[in-house]
Amino acid sequence: MAQRIDVKDLDVYYGTFHAVADVSMMIEARSVTALIGPSGCGKSTFLRTLNRMHEVIPGARVDGTVTVDGVDLYDPAVDPVAVRRQIGMVFQRPNPFPTMSIAENVLAGVRLNNRRISKSDAADLVETSLRGANLWKEVKDRLDRPGSSLSGGQQQRLCIARAIAVKPQILLMDEPASALDPISTLAIEDLIAELKNDYTIVIVTHNMQQAARVSDRTAFFNVAGTGEPGRLIEMDDTRTMFSTPSVQATEDYISGRFG
Amino acid sequence: MSTSDTPPVRQEDDDLQAARRPHRDTAGRVFAGLSTGAGTLILVVLAAVAAFLLLRAWPALTAGSEELAAISWIPDHGSIVRYVGPLVFGTLVAAVLALLMAVPVAVGIALFISHYAPRRLAASLGYVVDLLAAIPSVIYGLWGGLWLSRRLEGVWGWLADNLGFIPLFEGPAATPPRVMMTVGVVLAVMILPIITAVAREVFLQTPRLHEEAALALGATRWEMVRMAVLPFGRSGLISASMLGLGRALGETMAVLMILSPGLTYSFALLLAGRHQTIAANIALQFPEASPLGVSALIATGLALFVITLAVNMAARWVVARRKDFSGAN
């Protein structure tokens, strides 16, 4: 199920603004890859190119290739909607659909695929997805309550349950814990550690300790100044990155000297 | 935390004294007074209107059937309820017909402007819609009565010929088409801009976060609209429809100029002389009404007032029923 992602010579533009320049990287299957870097370095933009979500913004375009399972996501024959069904995404702020119940939220993506699923299958899927997101015990008695009745941390785990309910190959997370309290953050991090057994996970984070705790590989992005494109500075095993990075800027950033 | 530090006692005392004094926030109090006053005023006006309608309608409500029968335009039986009934019916038919035609089109236009049209086109379209909403209803009435109704004649004829087995379209269609169906179309055109303008505003308020949630799950644009935009805009859409319904219920001139009046409970929308609305009826009869006649007309106005209140309360109830799921919390 989990797939490797192969990025080659990727450039991202918003209109005439060159946002990310010349990124090539290999993202291993069944592992957690953390993207770190100062604000405005293009790490979130880069993450959103991995499931073509950046296209939602008018004027955005991409040069280069992103290959998953032998298919270039940017091949003209590839439908971005299909890409997003295969590659799930969790956002910075929890965004369950406020007009849907907890159970409906979990099933939202499945219903999109127009699959007629029986009531019992739906109930099973809700349970396995919520269990997968470590939320089942807390919400099993109120599945018909609105998703917005949960706490922020629970909402975020509900969003993760919604993302994994469609059984994606890859899970992208854009600062999934930055709006949460420490205890909820810990719950999310534990969850990420479990999810990597089944999914390829790419996570953007501003929190260096979090990157060190949850990821196997870390990529450091940096930007020379405003108006300049963000670039991938280096990528290595997380342990190496946080002990003996090969670029001075990485060490400066990780040790808190800037950013 | 050393004990030798002497805390600045004086300073704290001063601050506390200041806090204990009644605050001198004049602007705040003036504003609170003004807004409370405005809020009270609206209730007072509402009560005054209700009281006026009741008082002035009272003579007609209590009049005997012989007295009422003396009024030329009240039919034989001479009961005020029998007189108001068909008018209420006609008013509701006209308004519901207009809503049924206007709301789907308005939602379509609003969605096109908010989520489908290229940005520049969307801006100018929105501007045009706002302009249309500002055109006085008498203009629509003239246009509907003089121009549109003639174009509709053929359509109604076709409807009666081919779908005449449905009681709604029972033929033969009246010519000229001074019928309820024409009124419905003109009213729909009239309330379309206001519903569209409000609906567009509501759809634009959909949080980006929820739209992206839907897109990231692999929703197409239409699926995103269905998952995130429409549910979120539901209560706003109901409010917009109520705004349109209010206009349709109270519309006078357009109905007066188009409809050939009659006092029946008929669902035949293509036959003339079957329906009349309260507002148009008041305008038609008022100039030559006797004192008791005026009272009878005011009684119909009271009925309109009650209908409007009931419709609005029903709409509130529909919105409140799913408050937990509205996204407002």
Give the span between the Cα atoms of B114 and B230, in whole angstroms: 12
Measured in angstroms, the CA of A88 and the nearest CA of chain B are apart by 7
Asked if A84 and B213 come within 8 Å (Cβ–Cβ), the reply is no
Complex ipTM, two decimals? 0.89
Beta strand A60-68 with A217-223 is: unpaired
Q: Which CATH number fits domain A5-96+169-255: 3.30.1300.10, 1.10.760.10, 3.30.300.10, 3.40.50.300?
A: 3.40.50.300
Enter the tokens of residue B56: 């002035």
B325 contacts on A by Cβ (under 8 Å): 98-101, 146
pLDDT score of B28:
87
Q: How do the residues of chain A divide into helix, strand and coil, expressed in percent and rounded to 5?
A: 40, 25, 35
The strand pairing partners of A71, in sequence order, are A68
For residue A166, what is the nearest residue in chain B, using CA coordinates? Answer: B217
Specify whether the CB–CB gap between B80 and B67 falls below 8 A.
Answer: no
Per domain, the residue ranges of chain A are 5-96+169-255
Q: What distance in Å separates the CA atoms of residue B201 and residue B286, rounded to the nearest whole number?
A: 39
The shortest CB-CB distance from A84 to any of B209, B217, B232 is to: B217
B34-72 burial, b at 16+ Cβ within 10 Å, e below that, comes to eeeeeeeeeeeeeeeeeeebeebbebbeebeeeebeebe
- Strands A87-90 and A71-72, by their bridges, are unpaired
Is-contact B155 B179, C-beta < 8 A? Answer: no
> Cβ contact (<8 Å) for B217 and A112?
yes
pLDDT of residue B20: 62
Task: Tell me the nearest-neighbour CA distance from A248 into chain B, angstroms.
Answer: 36
Taking only the tens of pLDDT, chain A with its 259 residues reads 578 899 999 999 998 899 999 999 999 899 999 999 998 888 999 999 999 998 888 888 999 999 998 889 998 899 999 899 889 999 988 999 988 899 999 999 888 876 678 888 889 989 999 988 888 989 989 998 888 888 888 999 999 999 989 888 899 999 998 888 888 888 889 889 988 898 999 999 988 889 999 999 999 999 888 888 999 999 999 999 999 999 998 988 888 877 6
- Candidates B145, B175, B106, B134; CA nearest to B252 is B145
Three-state secondary structure call for residue A26 = strand
Q: B24 CA to chain A: closest CA distance, Å?
A: 39
The CATH number given to B63-325 is 1.10.3720.10
Spatial distance between the Cα atoms of A125 and A115, rounded to a whole number of angstroms? 13
pTM for this prediction: 0.81
Write out residues 131-150 of A within 8 Å (CB-CB) of B: 145-146, 148-149
The domain spans of chain B are 63-325
Instruction: Check CB contact of A81 with chain B, cutoff 8 Å.
Output: yes
Measured in angstroms, the CA of B200 and the nearest CA of chain A are apart by: 19
Tokens found for residue B102: 């206007």
Q: From CA B74, how far away is CA B79, in angstroms rounded? A: 9
Comparing CB atoms, the residue among A93, A146, A162 nearest residue B325 is: A146
Alpha carbons A147 and A143: distance in angstroms, whole number:
9
In chain B, which stretches have pLDDT less than 70?
1-24, 76-78, 324, 326-329
Query: Do residues A95 and A159 make contact, with C-beta atoms less than 8 angstroms apart?
Result: yes
Q: How wide is the angle at C-alpha A87 spanned by C-alphas A83 and A91, nearest 5°?
A: 120
pLDDT of residue B78: 65
Among the listed residues A55, A59, A87, A56, the one whose alpha carbon sits nearest the alpha carbon of residue A71: A87
pLDDT of residue B239: 87
Q: Please name the helix (run of DSSP H) or strand (run of DSSP E) that holds residue A129, with its range, or none.
A: helix A119-132
Can you tell me the distance from the alpha carbon of A252 to that of A222, in angstroms, rounded to the nearest whole number? 11
- On chain A, the residues whose CB falls within 8 A of the CB of B219 are 81, 112
